[in-house]
Structure 1
Amino acid sequence: MNYVDGFVLAVKAENRDLYRRHATTAAGVFKEYGALKVVECWGDDVPEGKLTSFPMAVKREPDEVVVFSWVEWPSRAERDEGMKKVMADPRLQPDVMTMPFDGKRLIYGGFEVIVDV
């Protein structure tokens, strides 16, 4: 079964186009190194919670939007190999590509798919 890397982050609303360009470039690199699919979602209905929520998790500021994204891989092994290449790729290095978000507030993790309907 496939493997998924998930991401939640906050992006300044005014940086939507910049983020889209960044995400499009990154998606091409992920796909080049074996990802099956890359999905980027701009928050539209992301409520504040009382105990937990996406906005609380990323410490969203008033001028920011929550972004939810995932990368689908054929397997954990292919993800591990592909991710090494992605992280080393010069096109995604901070000195080449401006990060349109605060990476310190990025939440990410790898997930084994257990239901896919």
Structure 2
Amino acid sequence: MGYVDGFVCAVPTDKREEYKGHCEEAAHVFKKYGAERVVETWGDDVPDGEVTSFPMAVKCKENETVVFSWIMWPSKQVRDEGMAKFMKDPICDPNQNPMPFDGKRLIFGGFNVLVDI
């Protein structure tokens, strides 16, 4: 059924277009290394919670927007191999391609697909 990497981060709202370009470039590299699909979404209706929430999880500031993203892979093995190649790719060099957000507040994880209808 595949494998999914999921991500949540806070991006400065005024860097939306810079972030979009960063993601488009990275998506092509992920696909080169085996990803089937890369989806980046820009928060529109992401409320603060009382106990927990997306904004709280990434310590979203007033001038930031929550982003929710995922990468679909055919299997965990393809993901592990592809991600290892991606991390060695020049796109990951922060001197050549700095992230337009605070990567220390990025939440990520790998997930087995349970239901896909």
TM-score by length of 1: 0.99
Report what 1:45 is aligned to. 45
The alpha carbon displacement at 1:2 in A equals 0.4
What pairs up with 1:94-113 in 2 under 5 angstroms? Answer: 94-113=94-113
Report what 2:26 is aligned to. 26
DSSP-derived class of the 1:79 partner: helix
Report what 1:85 is aligned to. 85
- Structure 1 alignment gaps of length 5 or more: none
Q: Distance in 2 between matches of 1:65 and 1:40?
A: 13
Q: Distance in 2 between matches of 1:10 and 1:98?
A: 15
Report what 1:6 is aligned to. 6
Q: Letter of the 2:89 partner, please give it.
A: D
TM-score by length of 2: 0.99
Q: Which runs of 4+ in 1 moved over 3 A?
A: none
The alpha carbon displacement at 1:112 in A equals 0.2
DSSP-derived class of the 2:48 partner: coil
Q: CA RMSD in A?
A: 0.5
Q: Letter of the 1:47 partner, please give it.
A: P
The alpha carbon displacement at 1:98 in A equals 1.7
Q: Letter of the 1:96 partner, please give it.
A: Q
Q: Deviations over 1:16-53 (max 9, x none)?
A: 00000000011000000000000000000000000000
DSSP-derived class of the 2:95 partner: coil
- Structure 2 alignment gaps of length 5 or more: none
Q: Deviations over 1:74-100 (max 9, x none)?
A: 000000000000000012311110210
Q: Letter of the 1:69 partner, please give it.
A: S
Q: Letter of the 1:37 partner, please give it.
A: R
The percentage of counterpart residues that share the same residue type is: 62
